Amino acid sequence: MSGAAASGDSRPEFRAAGTDLSERRRSGVSKGALIDLIASPDMIGVRWSADGAAQIGAMTSVASIAADARLAAAYPGLAAAAGGLATPQVRSVATLGGNLAQRSRCWYFRNPHIACLKKGGASCPARTGNHLWGVAFDSSPCVAPHPSTLGAALSAYDATVDTNMRRIAVGPLLDGGPEGTADNALAPGEIIQSVALQTPRAGERALYQRAISRAYAEWPLVEVVARAVVSDGHFHFVRIVAGGVAATPIRLPAVETAAEGAPATIATVTEAAAHCADGAKTLPATAYKIDLLRGLLRDVGEALIR
C-alpha cells in the first residue's frame, strides 16, 4: 500500500466488506484486480483468555464490536468508538481489519486526477492547498490525518495485530513511514487476521468522544479515547490517545503526566487539557483542531470523574 499514479492505483487489493474500496473504485482512484477474503472461523468473533483479555477477529463487523456487552464492560473506550463511527448501515458490514487498513480521506488523494504522495506524486498538494481537515501535529510530508477510529481506540489499549506474516503493535501498523507515501505498514500480500488486547486494569474507566463537521455519517475532525483509574480521589492511571490530528493516532503524554497522581477534580482536568498543544505543529488552517482537542479532553475528563 505505497504509491500509485494519479490516474489510478492498478495493484491488486484485498476486499472484505469493501465499504471504502467500492467508493475508491467508483471514483477511479483504485483500479486493480480484487482478491476476495474468505474468513476462517478465527477471523470472526471474540475469544477470551483465562485472564480476561480479548482477541478479536479481523473480519468481525464494527457493529458486533459495538454491541458486545462483554467487550463494552472490559474495553468501554473501544466499544464506544465502534458505536460512534460511520452509520448503522456501514457498521453492520464494515470490519475491524478494514477500518484499520482503510485509505486516506484526503480530498486530493480521493481525486483520481490529482497526483499526491500516496499516488506516486512528488509532493503533498494539501500542504499548500486546502488542508482544513489536515493534521495539527505536522510530522510527515503528507498532512492527512489517519482515518481509523478503531486504530485510535486500540492504540489507547496497547493492542497488537496479528497478520499472516507477523505480530505488530497498532501504532506502528498505522504508520505509513517517513516519506508519507503509505497509509500503513502492511507489506504486499499481508492480511490482518486478528487484534489482541491486554487484560483490562482493575477499576479502570474509559470514554470516547469525537468532534465532527456535521451531525451524522462523518469522519471526525478530532477524536479522543481516554482511559483512567480513579481511586482515593486521585488519578492513578491515565492514557489519552487523540485521532484526527496526526499522521497516526497519537498519545498525549503531557496531558497524561499532568493528570497522573493528581486529585480527580475539574481543576486537574482543566490543567491537564491545557497541555494538549504540547508538541503540536499546526498548519495555517488547522489551529482550530487544538481548540477542539482541548474541549474534548475537558469533556471526557469531567465525565471520567463523575
Q: What distances in angstroms separate CA 19 from CA 26, 87, 90, 112, one per listed residue?
A: 11, 12, 7, 18
pLDDT, tens digit (0-9, with 9 covering 90-100), for 217-236: 788 999 999 999 999 999 99
DSSP label at residue 275: G
3-state secondary structure 122-155: CCCHHHHCCCCCCCCECCCCCCCCCCCHHHHHHH
Residue 30 has what pLDDT? 84
Strands (E), 148-306: 160-163, 167-169, 192-196, 204-211, 222-231, 234-243, 250-251
Looking at residue 2, its pLDDT comes to 29
Give the pLDDT score at 6: 47
Nearest alpha-carbon partner for 255 in 229, 275, 277: 275
pLDDT tens digits along 36-71: 888 888 899 999 999 999 999 999 999 999 999 999
The answer, as to whether pTM is greater than 0.95, is no
| Mean pLDDT estimate for the chain | 93
Across the strands, what pairs with 14?
A: 35
Q: Where do we find the cell 453492520? A: 92
Band (pLDDT 50/70/90 cuts) for residue 31 is confident
In the block, cell 483500479 appears at 31
What percent of the chain has a predicted confidence (pLDDT) above 70? 97
Burial (CB count <10 Å: 0-12, 13-18, 19+), residue 38 = exposed
Q: Facing residues of 262 across strands?
A: none
Q: What is the pLDDT of residue 3?
A: 30
Better pLDDT: 274 or 23: 274
Percentage, residues of the chain above pLDDT 90: 83
* 288-303 residue pLDDT tens: 999 999 999 999 999 9
Q: Give the pLDDT of residue 154.
A: 98
Provide the residue type at 58 as one letter: A
Q: What is the pLDDT, as a whole number, of residue 8?
A: 57
For 178-221, write each residue's pLDDT tens digit. 999 999 999 999 999 999 999 999 999 999 999 999 877 788 99
CA–CA gap between residue 126 and residue 109 (Å, rounded): 9
pLDDT at 4 over 90: no
Place 5 in a pLDDT band, splitting at 50, 70 and 90.
Answer: very low
Per-residue confidence (pLDDT) for residue 9, from 0 to 100: 67
Q: Are 183 and 104 in contact (CB under 8 A)?
A: yes
